[in-house]
Structure 1
Amino acid sequence: MAVRVAGDELPCEVVSHLMSFLPLRDRISASATCRQWYEASRAPQLHVREVVFVHTSRAIKDLCPEAVVLPDTLEVEPVWPPPPFQNFCFRELEVRTTGEMRHFWPRFGRRILRLSLQNCEVSEKAFNDILAQCPNLRYLHLSGCNELYMSGKVLESCQGTLRLEALEELQLTNTRYISDCIFNRFVALAPNLRRVALLGCNITCSSAVFGRFYPEPRAQQLRNQLAQGVIPVDVAAANVFTFENVLGVLSVRKVTSLGVGVTSLAFDNLNDLCQRLHSVRALDLRKCFQLVKGLDRVADAFATTLTDLDLSDCSFLTSVDLRHLGKLIALRRLNLNGCKNVDGEVAHELRNLSKLELLDLSNNERVLGPILSQAMAAMTQLKHLYLNRLALLDSDSLLQIVKQAPPLITLEMAGCVLPLIDAVLAVVCTRHTTIKRLNLANCPFVTDAGLTGLSENPELECPPAYQNTLMDVLPHCGVSLGSKAERQIVYEAKRKKQLAVHLTPLKETMLQQGICNLTDLSSLDLSNCSRVSDLSVRNVFRFNQLRFLSLERNCQITDSSIQSLVMHCPSIEELNVQDCGQLTNLGVSYLSHLQRLRELNLNGCDFLGDASLEALMTGKGPLRNVSLQRCSKLTPNAVNIFCNWLSHSINWSMPQNKQQSWCMPPPPPHLPSFIDADC
């Protein structure tokens, strides 16, 4: 006999487990159901990955409400119990332990697991007190914060009295004044440190500079302490940050992840790293412009152990050296974004990386499509693929790549100017139905037919041949360029009418092909896809989990598109309709019904007036950021009222007067390029 249990009768542990499958916004909505579900939503395991960003004093006041003084005592207790937040990120704020933040650290300190200070002002004493009140800290990230290191005495008073036993990851990035002494103090506090990132730090990689600051007696003392497993603090130099000291200290801690990108790392330094840090499993070498070779040493040292490698923007690595990547058979994530010498032979070696889960080949000018499609067949575990702006990738090769690739979660093809992109999109929508993130920005040949799945319908007129040649720009036989643009506009209108005829009988039964098959889609970028109109938005955009949508510079998007999005995509949190010139106040009024809309970009929507702001203020969603640049019909009074209504300031610009246009005029409506059109 089946037993039906009401929601408020379920055990709290069961409700918490069910909520673990929901995204953050859904958990927030579910927690408002009843008191029991609210208590279940406060389970610590549900908040491990949530990060609270603090960049205003008002946020501190919201986290620490007014306290009350108990009668006959001097103790101060908050009115409400602290929220179950465990991860905090402070940005461009003065971080203190006094004043308005005096209750924050006693309230949250013991439960904080991740702490990030980005470009914040913090004194040495305040920083020491903060670490003392966060005994369970696992992750510490300091970006900028140069004033903290200037005196060279940070953490000096904590040696021997403070230990962060739980600290596993340390990131000291974009720092100019860090030294060997300061770095060693940080490492000495964390006996269980396993991951270190020093991106953008002034690391001295020269052995000559190390010998100058470490004469032979001092260098010998440094080596002796490291050999004994002791982190040298008193012996370390206070005026220089050397790569030799970093390697010695991290070899004691046996780190598994190291990030030394955006530094002057060279071949000799990479060779030393491979010889001394045998426990490394993840290596970040992004933007190491002095690195011209050395991947053969990496392949020999970590052939079966290295799982993560980031070589993005290492533009001076040669193709001969990059071929050694095929020896790293344990790689799961490989980033080659911006490596200019990735050619066909390098792509051929990638076939050996059968365990690869993430591959980024964006912004490479020499990748050959046929060879890459052959290598893709061997990557049976691939989940995230980035192919943005590949100059030599042809239509047939891209079609074979998406056919050979296993079911993907992320696919980015931004900047793909191939005429057969609709055929590629048809394969994506049938083979890769698990995709959650799809990026087709700046793909001018994506059309409504491709999005609806009717691109291969024989009754639809095929697009003309597009040739990217210089001669297409020149007028032939006295035909003006204006007539070519007019012909293209007529063609697009005719094709749109044909699509509408074929979509009419499918409205009730829904389409069984096209982008509507991607039911798990949470992020979709169609920026500057000028051939996408409200026809496809109204008929196939049915995404209950879609949270990010960009339709920037799509001039055929109208108010009816917004109305359909509100009805069929209720989970949208970020919407970008910049330079969609046909949107009016009516379309913006529909947006007020989106219950989760947080960020809205309306730049360049010149038909919007004060009524659009009034409509947004009637909404009940958590709207926080609105961009209104180049909306010249808005009046200052209406914008001021709207600013006061928002909890955060918005990004907008005012014209100097009503008759004068903006300082930067809006771009003209996008028309098909004459270079791409056929005469």
Structure 2
Amino acid sequence: MAAVLPVEVIAHVMRFLSVGDRKAAALVNRQWYEASLDPALQTNTVFHLLTPFTTGSTVQSFGLRKSPHLILNDMDGSSKSKEVVQKACQHLGQHLQSLSLKGSDITEATFMVIVPHCCNLRKLDLSSCNSLFLSGNLLRKAEDLKSAEKSLVNVRELNLASLRHLSDCVFNRLVGVMPNVEKLSLSGCTVSYEFNPYAKGSQTRASTSVLTFINIKAFLEQQGKKLASLDLSKTALPGSSLRELATVPGLAIRELNIAGNRDLTDDDILRLVKRQTSLTSLNVSMCGELTSETVLHIQTYVPQMQYLNFSKCRRMRDSAASKLYTLPGLRYINFAECPQISSKALIAGLSSKPMPYLTSVCLAHCTLVRDEFVEALGKSVPHLQELDLTSCLAITDRSVHAIAAFLPELKRLSLAWCKNVTDYGILGLEKPEEVGDEGRLCELTGGRFSRNFGTIGFFSPPSAAEVSVCKITQEEALAVLAQQDAGMPSGLQRLAGLRVLDLSTCQQLSDLGITCAIRFRELVCLRLNMCTGLTDRSLVSIATNVPSLEELSISQCHQVTDDGVTKVVKRLQRLTFLDVSCNDRLTNHTLASIGQHCRCLQKLDVSLCSQMSHDALDKLQYRLPHLVSLQSRLVL
């Protein structure tokens, strides 16, 4: 039947598939491959070319797809890299809308080979391309400047993050040939206030050696009406500079990232939101001096806020969360590592009134979060798509039941380090009374200070009853499977659209529970690190019932053997990331199986696998030349 369908019909069907599913469907036959070349299917397709391992003929074949997105990595001054770049420009250049050269050792000459072919470019990423800016002569020649002005006029997004050698002069030449830039990132760049405060007139001259805030401010005064997004994170921006930025005439930023600038205070944020009333996204993570007053200022002056990130702002208290309902358009909220935020405040802020647009909540390491909040959140925000409860140590099976019952649209779920989650929670079963939750919150009531140091001698160790693993029986597992076969899923199985699941260090999960619960057709990322109950049986079930998996982490799962990993890599042909580190039972046989079956693998971690050898690793790298990252610490 598939062979006789018209190409147009097949292409229409592919529009409803994910990128991974489309790649698999394109391998059916030549007709399906031709259907996958439909330009309408290329809008979310990204070509990632590692220039040392890519041939010109390969790039030429990619030109048939007319993909608008291209990433070029590991470029150097070799003739092969130049050939790949030239071919990429010839066959993909006219269709490109997004080009990333992040981290490449690209030269000015190679960059000027690329630029003339990219006339429709809208997004350019030059982050970490330090070799390109080392000499300070980029676009200094008149002919280069003229060519760039003609080709880069349509660029809307420019990423100049993590550049050590960016100077005022080069920055001015770059933004001068891109007059329509709307999003600018200078994250991680070293920014001085002015390059020579003692020289007369230094505030009006551009530096040839450093990037100055005075120069950035001058750019904002010229481009302010067009600029919608600005990223100044990790630039050591002082509060005085932020106040100056807020008062630039005509500037109306909608997205601002000032994360990691630790000297910022509540008063600085007040000055900002008073002047920049069009803000809809603000990231102030890792700004340790900010308190709950910042949230109150935001609620007062920018009630249209949609994205807020307060992660690692440890001075935030309950008042920061209790009135979040005054931001009715809120879509994303992040209070990760804000240990003083309680469930009571979160219930008042997120569950007391309707939050119709809220889709993502991150409360990682908020140890005061309880089951009551998760239940209230599920009932009041049923359209939630992302929920991160990593290291919320008081979370139990009640929360897992609420998530499964009330959040059917969830796509990302993290319950890592929630050590009180058991098989009964992920399978949607009621726990028998004799193995109830009493005495199980050992991380909170057993005198343990951290996940690493236990009781360190101040308190008596937990009793055997406190640390015993609560496992389901064979009869209960068979009943769950029968219910699933009858079309009545329970537990996490009700989250049919789940794509990312993290159950790392949920050590009360058993082999039987994992086998019955993890059966998701669309799941692409699964993390089961330190799940000590995981065995080869679990891996065989995952390989069979999670066919779309692309990322798998099973670090410190000491019962896993070569046989289990071999069966996984044979079945899961889409794997791009695999972490099997810290396992003394894995040998060179695992590496041989990975080299034979994982043709798409890009990242592999086998650190602390003492039974593996460097010779086997060398053979693996030879068989998988596209392997971007291989972690092999302490492999003998």
Structures share fold, TM-score greater than 0.5: yes
Following the alignment from structure 2 to structure 1, what is the Cα–Cα distance between the partners of residues 596 and 215?
60
Is 2:214 the partner of 1:252? no
The answer for the alignment partner of 1:70 in structure 2 is none
Look up the equivalent residue of 2:579 and give its one-letter code.
Answer: N
1:61-93 deviation digits (Å, cap 9, x = unpaired)? 5644xxxxxxxxxxxxx6885543332223443
Tell me by how many angstroms 1:138 deviates: 1.0
**Do the aligned partners of residues 262 and 613 (structure 1) sit closer, same or farther apart at CA in structure 2, a change above 3 Å counting?**
closer
Aligned with 1:645 (options 620, 623, 626): 623
Distance 1:80 1:312 in 2: 40
2:53 aligned partner: 58
- Structure 2 match to 1:150: 134
Residue 63 of structure 2 corresponds to residue 93 of structure 1 = no
Q: Which deviates further from its counterpart, 107-116 or 467-476? A: 467-476
Greater Cα offset, 263-272 or 311-320 = 263-272
Q: Which amino acid aligns with 1:85?
A: S
Equivalence for 2:161: 173
Kindly provide the CA deviation profile for residues 110-147 of structure 1, in whole angstroms up to 9, marking residues without a partner as x. Answer: 22222222232222233233222222211111122233
Alignment of 1:565-580 (within 5 A): 565-580=542-557
Alignment check: 8 A CA contact 1:344 1:371 kept: yes
How many residues align? The count is 609
Among 417, 424, 427, the residue aligned to 1:449: 424
Question: Which of 528, 531, 538 matches 1:561?
Answer: 538
> C-alpha separation between the residues in 2 aligned to 1:79 and 1:474?
61
Q: Label 1:213 to 1:307 Cα distance change in 2 as closer, same or farther (>3 A).
A: farther
Match of 1:186 among 174, 180, 185: 174
Cα–Cα, structure 1 residues 574 and 130, in superposed 2: closer, same or farther, change >3 Å? Answer: same
Q: Aligned to 2:436, what secondary structure does the other structure show?
A: coil
Conservation of the 8 A alpha-carbon contact between 2:529 and 2:557: yes
- 3-state SS of the aligned residue for 1:173? coil
Q: Indicate conservation of the 8 Å contact 1:333/1:357, yes or no.
A: yes
Quote the Cα distance in structure 1 between the aligned partners of 2:518 and 2:62. Answer: 43
Match of 2:281?
A: 308
Deviation of 1:449 (Å)? 0.8
Which residue number corresponds to residue 27 of structure 1? 22
Aligned counterparts, 1:361-376, within 5 A: 361-376=335-350
Partner residue of 1:265? 237
Q: Indicate whether 1:581 and 2:558 are aligned.
A: yes
Conservation of the 8 A alpha-carbon contact between 1:369 and 1:393: yes
Contact 2:318 2:345 in 1 (8 A): yes
- 1:236-265 Cα distance to aligned partner (Å, 9 max, x none): 443442223222323323211111111132
Paired residues of 2:234 and 2:259 also in contact (CA < 8 A): yes
Percentage of identical aligned residues: 27
1:588–1:363 Cα change, 3 Å? same
What per-residue deviation string (whole Å, max 9, x for no partner) do you get for residues 630-676 of structure 1? 333345655554443333454335655xxxxxxxxxxxxxxxxxxxx
Q: What secondary structure is seen at the aligned counterpart in 1 of 2:101?
A: strand
> What's the secondary structure of 1:52's corresponding residue?
strand
- Whole-angstrom distance in 2 between the partners of 1:297 and 1:429: 43
For the structure 1 residues 517 and 469, does the alpha-carbon distance in structure 2 shift closer, same or farther, using more than 3 Å as the test?
closer
Asked whether the equivalents of residues 213 and 237 of structure 1 are also in contact (C-alpha less than 8 Å), the reply is no
CA distance in 2: counterparts of 1:654 and 1:357, whole angstroms:
44
- What amino acid is aligned across from residue 409 of structure 1 in structure 2? Q
Equivalent position amino acid for 1:215 in 2 = G
Give the one of 587, 590, 611 matched to 1:633: 611
- Contact preservation (8 Å) 1:325, 1:349: no
Partner of 2:111: 127
Q: Structure 2 vs 1, CA of residues 604 and 140 (structure 1 numbering), >3 Å: closer, same or farther? A: same
Structure 1 residue 335 displacement after superposition: 1.0
Check whether the contact 2:236–2:261 (CA below 8 A) recurs between aligned residues.
yes
- C-alpha contact (below 8 Å) 2:37/2:64 kept by paired residues: no
Quote the Cα distance in structure 2 between the aligned partners of 1:22 and 1:512. 23
Question: What is the aligned partner in structure 2 of residue 291 from structure 1?
Answer: 264
The answer on whether the counterparts of 1:570 and 1:594 sit within 8 Å (CA) in structure 2 is: yes
Equivalence for 1:228:
none
Question: Which of structures 1 and 2 has the bigger CA Rg?
Answer: 1
Selected match of 1:551 from 488, 506, 528: 528
Cross-structure match for 1:215: 201
Question: For 1:469-548, what aligned pairs fall within 5 Å after superposition?
Answer: 469=445, 486-487=464-465, 491-492=468-469, 495-497=470-472, 499-510=473-484, 512-548=489-525
- TM value normalised by structure 2: 0.88
CA distance in 2, matches of 1:501, 1:568: 21
Q: Distance in 2 between matches of 1:474 and 1:155?
A: 61
Q: Secondary structure at the match of 2:571?
A: coil
Give the Å deviation of 1:538. 1.7
More moved, 40-49 vs 461-470: 461-470
Unaligned runs of 5+ in 1: 65-77, 220-234, 657-679
CA distance in 2, matches of 1:471, 1:88: 53
1:312 is paired with a residue of what secondary structure? coil
Provide the C-alpha distance between the structure 2 equivalents of 1:471 and 1:618, rounded to a whole number of angstroms.
49
Amino acid at match of 2:281: D
Structure 1 residues 100, 531: closer, same or farther in 2, change over 3 A? same
1-structure distance, mates of 2:258, 2:631: 35
Structure 2 residue ranges without an equivalent (≥5): 449-454
Of 88-97 and 538-547, the range deviating more from structure 2:
88-97
SS of corresponding position for 1:575: strand
| Residue 435 (structure 1) aligned to one of 403, 410, 418 | 410
2:575 aligned with 1:597: yes
| Cα distance between partner residues in 2 of 1:10 and 1:100 | 35
Q: For residues 358 and 214 of structure 1, what CA distance do their matches in structure 2 show?
A: 47
Does the C-alpha gap of structure 1 residues 203 and 539 become closer, same or farther in structure 2, counting only changes over 3 Å? same
Structure 1 residue 40 and structure 2 residue 35: aligned? yes
Q: 1:49 aligns with which of 34, 37, 44?
A: 44
Structure 2: distance between partners of 1:7 and 1:301: 62
Amino acid at match of 2:255: A
Q: Does the 8 A contact of 1:594 with 1:621 survive in 2?
A: no
Check conservation: 1:547, 1:574, Cα contact below 8 A.
yes
Change in Cα spacing, 1:427 to 1:35, as seen in structure 2 (3 Å) is: same
Q: Secondary structure at the residue paired with 2:289?
A: coil
Change (3 A) 1:81 1:121: closer
Q: Per the alignment, do residues 40 and 250 of structure 1 end up closer, same or farther by CA in structure 2, a change over 3 Å counting?
A: farther
2: CA distance between counterparts of 1:313 and 1:513?
Answer: 39
CA distance in 2, matches of 1:631, 1:93: 32
Kept in 2, the 8 Å contact 1:60–1:101? The answer is no
Query: Deviation per CA, 1:335-365, whole angstroms, max 9, x where unpaired?
Result: 1111122211121232211111111110112
- Give the secondary-structure state (helix, strand or coil) at the position aligned to 1:286: coil
After superposition, residues 385-464 of structure 1 pair within 5 angstroms as 385-418=361-394, 420-454=395-429, 456-458=430-432, 461-464=435-438
Cα displacement (A) at 1:593: 1.9
Q: 2:504 touches 2:530 (CA, 8 Å); kept in 1?
A: yes
Please state how far the C-alpha of 1:294 moved relative to its aligned partner: 1.9
1:199 correspondence with 2:187: yes
Letter in 2 for 1:453: G
Q: Which residue of 2 aligns with 1:358?
A: 332
Tell me the residue number matched to 1:229.
none
Contact 1:446 1:529 in 2 (8 A): yes
Q: Equivalent residue of 2:70, what SS?
A: strand
The Cα RMSD (Å) is: 3.0
State the secondary structure of the residue aligned to 1:159: helix
Counterpart CA distance in 1 for 2:293 and 2:635 is 55
